[in-house]
């Protein structure tokens, strides 16, 4: 990685951290309805993975998905609006923290069900992008490793 890529990676990680710290503040003030699961401490994962994706590539996320969307380039104002249940949000204020999506950026959505994004990503990988084959990333945590849906998706992908 050259210096410019390293600088941009650092900027992205800082942006994710600042977004998440602001989310914590807003949750504590009861300005964000419902629950928000932060991505603090995991910024480098989203930054590195999303930096390697091309414009036609897609991803699915988890209940801790804010960092994935930010690293992919989602609009921060629309993300905050979504978290605050406003019509101007990414999903018109209906999805909240655990169901963020921006299909225009290849973000097929966060999901509050453990490992549920994996089969969506596998299906998306089979459909060529506008420029040909594409990569589909399924973010998931360690709790997903014993979920049938994830293991079944691995088997399907391997077949």
Q: What does the pLDDT read at residue 75?
A: 97
What is the rounded distance in angstroms from the CA atom of residue 106 to the CA atom of residue 68? 11
Q: How far apart are the first and last CA of the chain?
A: 34
Which of 50, 18, 22 has its CA nearest to residue 36? 22
What is the rounded distance in angstroms from the CA atom of residue 58 to the CA atom of residue 118? 12
Q: What does the pLDDT read at residue 57?
A: 95
Q: Enumerate residues 6+ apart whose C-beta is below 8 A from 96.
A: 33, 34, 36, 82, 83, 85
Instruction: Give exposure, 58-89, as e/b (b: 16+ Cβ within 10 Å).
Output: bbbbbbbbbbbbbbbebbeebbbbbbeeeeeb
Domains and CATH numbers, the chain: 3-71+97-158 (3.40.50.970)
Angle at 90 between CA 56 and CA 6, to 5 degrees: 50
pTM of the predicted structure, to 2 decimals = 0.93
Q: What does the pLDDT read at residue 148?
A: 94
Kindly report, residue by residue over 37-85, the tens digit of the pLDDT: 999 999 999 999 999 999 999 999 999 999 999 999 999 999 999 999 9
Kindly report, residue by residue over 91-128, the tens digit of the pLDDT: 998 988 889 999 999 999 898 899 999 999 999 998 88
Kindly report, residue by residue over 25-45, the tens digit of the pLDDT: 999 999 998 889 999 999 999
């Amino acid at each position: 990685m050259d210096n410019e890529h390293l600088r941009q990676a650092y900027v992205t990680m800082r942006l994710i951290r600042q977004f998440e710290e602001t989310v914590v503040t807003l949750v504590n003030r009861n300005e964000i309805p419902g629950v928000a699961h932060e991505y603090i401490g995991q910024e480098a994962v989203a930054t590195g993975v999303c930096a390697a994706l091309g414009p036609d590539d897609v991803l699915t996320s988890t209940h801790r998905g804010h960092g994935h969307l930010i690293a992919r380039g989602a609009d921060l104002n629309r993300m905050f609006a979504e978290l605050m249940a406003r019509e101007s949000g990414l999903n018109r204020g209906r999805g909240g923290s655990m169901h963020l999506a921006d299909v225009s950026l290849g973000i097929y959505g966060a999901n509050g069900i453990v490992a549920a994004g994996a089969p969506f990503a596998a299906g998306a990988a089979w459909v060529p992008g506008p420029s040909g084959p594409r990569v589909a990333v399924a973010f998931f945590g360690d709790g997903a490793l014993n979920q049938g849906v994830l293991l079944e998706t691995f088997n399907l992908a391997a077949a």
